[in-house]
Structure 1
Amino acid sequence: MMMLFSEHADVSVRPAIPGDAQAFVAIQLDAWQANLAGVVSPDLRESFDESAIEAQWKESIQAPAGQGLGVLTALKADKVVGFVAVAPATIVALEVSPEYWRQGHGSRLLTAAVDRLRRDGSTQFSVWVPATATGKQEFYASAGLARDGRVRHLGVSEGVEVVEERWAADL
């Protein structure tokens, strides 16, 4: 019997399960650190209560706070490499572990999120992107999103502020 092997990795997106929450914490904090390099201190991660963040992710997965809220997980084989959280007309968070950037996981997550938003009746959506995260900006621009002119300032730690721009697209 001849066996055929694919040149493509075993990759997928599925609904999140509570067991994904621990991986989400590491992915989220690693991605923030990479996207905000030069803006936040390299030791910022130490100021976060990772067990509290994990508990919040588990709650979001098990009992979403409202209709249209959901979390999806990106996998490479059986390893969690990214996630996306959606709410009506909004991508709340889309993060991929920096070691898996530019391998198509973000695109798969964005496509799955857009499918979910359309299914839930959204005709447009938005996402907040750090102004210094040029890689994320390029990603969203290549997917057809554009800045809509809205800006917000987030206090990350004492004396440190992150500026985010809202990007949007019609569905």
Structure 2
Amino acid sequence: MADVGVRPARREDAADIALVQVRAWLAGYQEILPTATLAEVTGPEALEMWRERWAEAATAPPSPRHRLLVSVEKGEVTGFAAHAPAEDPDHDPATTAEVLTLLVDPERGRSGHGSRLLAATVDMLREDGFTTLVTWVFEANESLRGFFVSAGWAPDGAMRILDMGAPVPMIRMHTDISEE
């Protein structure tokens, strides 16, 4: 069996996290985001900016309830997930958390890394007393929506439009993580 798992991110993971992010966006968002916007957020300058942001997220999160996790296989970062208390005004940040991002390197997809990241996220959030989990997904991202639906999530009816040089609709998904 392969040496796989999930652990808290460390500063030295930041470059790998940024690379996974850029690879995942290039592979998954070409049909969703305008070409110029995608090029801007995945180019060399953006890669360095993401590396710095992920290093800060790993070492100096805004609160103890903000976490960054990485999935690893044989010591290599294969994906990552970040979560925090929900900021949407219709949710209580004491009981509702948000998956801010969950990405797996496209070359490592369909190997359970995303499921392990999501399960570890839920475990941590339950320990922190959260009972509901939400995330925003591009409406056109059928693959990610399908992943969340297969894990028991559903759209909750909330939508927003991002202006990324063209309107890009997003839907909010949610799930109950309370232990019964």
**Correspondence 1:110-149 to 2 at 5 A:** 110-149=118-157
Which secondary structure state, in structure 2, belongs to the residue aligned with residue 66 of structure 1?
Answer: coil
What SS does the aligned partner of 2:43 have? helix
Tell me the alpha carbon deviations over residues 115-168 of structure 1, each in whole angstroms, 9 at most, x when there is no partner. Answer: 011011100110111111111111100000000011112233xx2332211110
> Does residue 1:74 correspond to 2:71, yes or no?
yes
* Counterpart residue type for residue 23 of structure 1: D
Query: CA separation in 2, counterparts of 1:64 and 1:86?
Result: 11
Give structure 1 regions of 4+ aligned residues with deviation exceeding 6 angstroms.
none
- Give the TM-score of the pair, scaled to structure 1: 0.89
Q: What is the alpha-carbon distance in structure 1 between the residues aligned to residue 53 and residue 43 of structure 2?
A: 18
Q: Give the structure with higher Rg (CA).
A: 1
Contact 1:71/1:84 (<8 A) preserved: yes
Change (3 A) 1:129 1:48: farther
Name the residue aligned to 2:62.
65
Alignment of 1:93-112 (within 5 A): 93-112=101-120
CA distance in 2, matches of 1:48, 1:135: 28
Q: Indicate yes or no: 2:173 matched with 1:167.
A: yes
* Contact 1:129 1:166 (C-alpha < 8 Å) held by counterparts: yes
Deviation (angstroms), 1:78: 1.0
Task: Choose from 16, 21, 30 the match for 1:23.
Answer: 16
- Give the aligned length: 162
Could you tell me the TM-score, scaled by structure 2's length? Answer: 0.84
Taking the aligned partners of 2:12 and 2:54, their CA distance within structure 1 comes to 10
Q: Secondary structure at the match of 2:110?
A: coil
SS of match in other structure, 1:39: coil
Q: Structure 1: which amino acid aligns with 2:128?
A: D
Measured in 2, the distance between the counterparts of 1:87 and 1:39 equals: 25
Q: Indicate the SS of the match to 2:2.
A: coil
Structure 2: how far apart are the matches of 1:48 and 1:137?
29
- Tell me if the contact between 2:32 and 2:141 (Cα under 8 Å) persists in the aligned partners: no
For residue 48 of structure 1, report the CA deviation from its aligned partner.
5.1
Q: Is the 8 A contact 1:36 1:132 kept in 2?
A: no
Secondary structure at the residue paired with 2:147?
helix
* 8 Å Cα contact 2:156/2:173 also seen in 1: yes
Unaligned runs of 5+ residues in structure 2 are 86-96
Which residue of the partner structure matches residue 37 of structure 1? 30
Provide the residue aligned with 1:5 in structure 2.
none
CA RMSD of aligned residues (A): 1.5
